[in-house]
Amino acid sequence: MTAYGPTSAEGARAPGPGSRTPLLGLRVDVDTHEGMKSGVPRLLDVLREANIKGTFYLSMGPDNAGKAIFNAFRRPGFLSKMRRTKAARVYGLRTILSGTLLPARMIATAFPEIARRIPAEGHEVGVHAWDHRRWQDRLESFSEGQVARELARAYEAFAEIFGEPPRTFAAPAWFANDASLSFQENLGLDYASDCRGEEPFEPIIGGSPLATPQVPTTLPTLDEALGDTHADARSFFGSMVGAAWRARWPVLTVHAELEGGPYAEPLRWFLQQAADHEIRVVPLKELLAARRAAAAPLPQRTMGYGTVPGRHGKVSMPVAG
């Protein structure tokens, strides 16, 4: 068996008071119609078996995922990455064509009953997007009004399904801007997960701190790692056990289309490994609560952009200054 785990990392942790149990925040992103329809139910089953709760972020509106794949044809190295990640098999042709040659299908709004299973089974649920693809492609050219409309539409759809407004939001592709952060601030969310980073923090935009804290994704995702740092899902998840131990407030993001699809078994194995290494996997709100219970206040960090290995384009993250 691979040697990884707590032995050398134990001293590096900062667990909550009264507990030596390391935490791992689990975030599930739902980006496509197919991910909502079959990935979410499978993930709910996997998590129930493992007796684990996580935080699900739902794309509410149209699935234009196909546009991403068509756009990606313009980038060098795309075909080899597609082959390594088995994109056609993973996403299926209907998803690849959705919003391109075939009409876009709706995501969470098409499956309100599946959506309601998420909180009914004890998980946290929040908003990921109205139109994930449109946000990723056009956020930079959106007016403040367009940003507000995209968010408001998603929040309304969420409230219609769940009978109450969302308490948390995660920007599509970890891509936020001052307008989206300001709009969220007005809604008084408990927290958001809009960026990559190292630990929960209070964001500063335009020189002013916001009251809505960020709980960033801290670990790499499977799709970033495959064909880049890891040859297969098992070796990726094996390394994540050690990475979760070494990080102070680790958050792992999985995708309904991947870990709820062809990579469900590697995820199941990872959750067992996490349990064997006494890592407690929790929803993000629980990770934030534990962080707040720790001695020091949340750091304040200026929001900016950067890149992460294996992912095309820039993502939001705290920057110096």
Binding site for Zn ion (CB under 5 A): 29, 31, 172
Residue with smaller CB distance to Zn ion, 245 or 259: 259
Residue with smaller CB distance to Zn ion, 111 or 245: 111
Residue 171 CB, nearest distance to Zn ion (Å)? 9
Residue 31 CB, nearest distance to Zn ion (Å)? 4
Residue 234 CB, nearest distance to Zn ion (Å)? 23
> What separation in angstroms does the CA of 179 have from each of 55, 140, 299?
24, 10, 22
Q: Could you say which DSSP state residue 94 is in?
A: H
Residue 188 CB, nearest distance to Zn ion (Å)? 23
Q: Note the helical H segments in the chain.
A: 33-34, 40-50, 65-72, 78-84, 87-97, 112-120, 132-138, 144-162, 178-187, 222-225, 233-246, 264-276, 284-293
Residue 259 CB, nearest distance to Zn ion (Å)? 13
Residue with smaller CB distance to Zn ion, 36 or 179: 36
Closest CA to 99 of 172, 33, 146: 33
5 contacts 68 by C-beta, under 8 angstroms:
no
Handedness of CA 111, 112, 113, 117 (dihedral sign): positive
* Whole-angstrom distance, CA of residue 173 vs CA of residue 195: 8
Residue with smaller CB distance to Zn ion, 29 or 199: 29
Residue with smaller CB distance to Zn ion, 29 or 124: 29
Helix (H, G, I), strand (E, B) or coil at 157: helix
Handedness of CA 243, 244, 247, 251 (dihedral sign): positive
> What separation in angstroms does the CA of 157 have from each of 103, 115, 131?
20, 11, 12
Residue with smaller CB distance to Zn ion, 36 or 181: 36
Residue 203 CB, nearest distance to Zn ion (Å)? 20
Residue 57 CB, nearest distance to Zn ion (Å)? 7
Q: Could you say which DSSP state residue 226 is in?
A: B
Residue with smaller CB distance to Zn ion, 29 or 131: 29
Which residues does 274 contact at the CB level (< 8 Å), separation at least 6?
Answer: 24, 241, 244, 281
Residue with smaller CB distance to Zn ion, 172 or 318: 172
Residue 173 CB, nearest distance to Zn ion (Å)? 6
What are 127's strand-pairing partners?
58, 169
Helix (H, G, I), strand (E, B) or coil at 30: strand
